[in-house]
Structure formats: C-alpha cells, structure tokens
Structure 1
Amino acid sequence: MGQLGSVFTMVLMLAVFYLVIFIPENKRKKKYAALLNNLKVNDEVLTKGGVMGKIINIQDEYIILESGPDRTRIKLAKSGIGTVINLNTNEAVEKK
C-alpha cells in the first residue's frame, strides 16, 4: 500500500507541474503567434532588441522596419518583434 501512495504522489506532482508550467506557456505561444500573424504595414513595433519603428514591408519570415529621423530601414526576422504599439491609445500590446 505504501508504494501505491508514493506513485499517486508522484503522478499528482507531475500533474501540478504540467498545469503550472506547460499550459501558461502554450497560451503565451499562441498569443504571440497571433500577434505575428496580425502584423500589418504601418504598424508601430518595438523589437526584442529595443528598436522602435514602423513596418513598411512584410515578407514570409522577415519584415522591413523604418526607424529614426533618417528613416533607416532594417530587415528583421518576424520572431524579433517583441511588441506591437497601438497607435490609437499609445499603449503597447504585450507579447505574453
């Protein structure tokens, strides 16, 4: 009977671990994938590296940002986008 109790405890700990770690991570990944799929030309974005710019072209895996007063163009992987800035409210939509 003692072995059954320790097996049950181990299964319970694994279930709690799954609920605490994997489910929130999957939700975060889905939300981030939706953010990347909803990118549009003229969206203001903040990259993971801290560069803020406006999207001027979207390709399959890359985007082209225009940033700064000199209108410098940067080719960036879509996965480098950290945040999309909502121009109407000047608030950031987090990638979480």
Structure 2
Amino acid sequence: MIVKYFIDSAYASTNLHHEKDSPYSLVAMLVLFAIIFYLSIFRPQQKKAKEHKKLMDSITSGDEIITKGGLIGKVDRTHKNSDYLVVMLNDSNKILLHRNFITSILPKGTIDSI
C-alpha cells in the first residue's frame, strides 16, 4: 500500500502539464533579491563608513584614541589640510599616524587610569 502511494505520486508528478511561467516573475524575483541584497549588505556598510568619517572629522588635539593596531595615545597635533596627525604614546614617544587607522576616541582620562 505504501509502495503504491509512492508509485502513484511519482507517476502523477511526471504527468503534470507544464504551463509557461511569466517572464515578469523572473524580473520580479531579481528585483526583490537586489533590494534584499542592498538592505542587508550595502546600506549597513554605507552607514558604518559615514559614522567613521564623522569620527575622523571630529578628532582634535588632546583626544585620547585607540588605533587598529591596539596603540593607545593622545592626539598631540592635527593638520587641517592633511589626513595625518601626531599621536603622543607617552612623554617621549610621538608617532605620525593616518586618520584611517584610528578605531575610536576614548573617554578623557582613560590613559591615566590604565
């Protein structure tokens, strides 16, 4: 009885009459996929890049920062027309750093508390 059921359903699935799908269904599916792709990948990436640019523009002298490499320092000098700034790691070490390597701005007093 179970075997007959599977044979009947297999036979029924091969005898279906095939109607042609509308060409618009493929276009609609591709448009829907593009919208989902945009909302899940491109939009959050653009938002993150905008926030990072805003962070980079807000850096001033005296800010305590952390770099992508894990260095923690205080901004000593910024240059208006340049993307580079001078970061003081301690009293005797200063480095020249590109703004894109800054991960975040730390709250004031973080370096003293470490």
Do Structure 1 and Structure 2 share a fold, with TM-score over 0.5? Answer: yes
Stretches of 4+ aligned residues off by more than 6 angstroms: none
> What CA deviation, in whole Å up to 9, does each residue of 1:21-49 have, x standing for no partner?
11111111111001000001010000011
Q: Deviations over 1:22-78 (max 9, x none)?
A: 11111111110010000010100000111100000001210111113x530000011
In the alignment, structure 1 residue 79 sits paired with structure 2 residue 97? no
CA drift of 1:2 comes to 2.5
SS of 1:49's partner is coil
- Root-mean-square deviation (CA, aligned residues, Å) is 1.4
- Given the alignment of the two structures, is residue 32 of structure 1 paired with residue 46 of structure 2, yes or no? no
Query: Which protein is bigger by CA-based radius of gyration?
Result: 2
Equivalent pairs, count: 88
Structure number with the bigger relative contact order (C-alpha 8 A, sep ≥ 6) is 1
Counterpart AA for 2:86 = I
* Structure 2: stretches of 5+ with no match in the other structure: 1-20
Percent identical among aligned pairs is: 28
Is 1:10 matched up with 2:30? yes
TM-score for the superposition, normalised by structure 2:
0.72
Which has more strand, going by share of residues? Answer: 1
Once the 2 structures are TM-superposed, how far is the Cα of residue 15 of structure 1 from its aligned partner? 0.7
Query: Is there any run of 5+ residues in structure 1 with no aligned partner, and where?
Result: 91-96
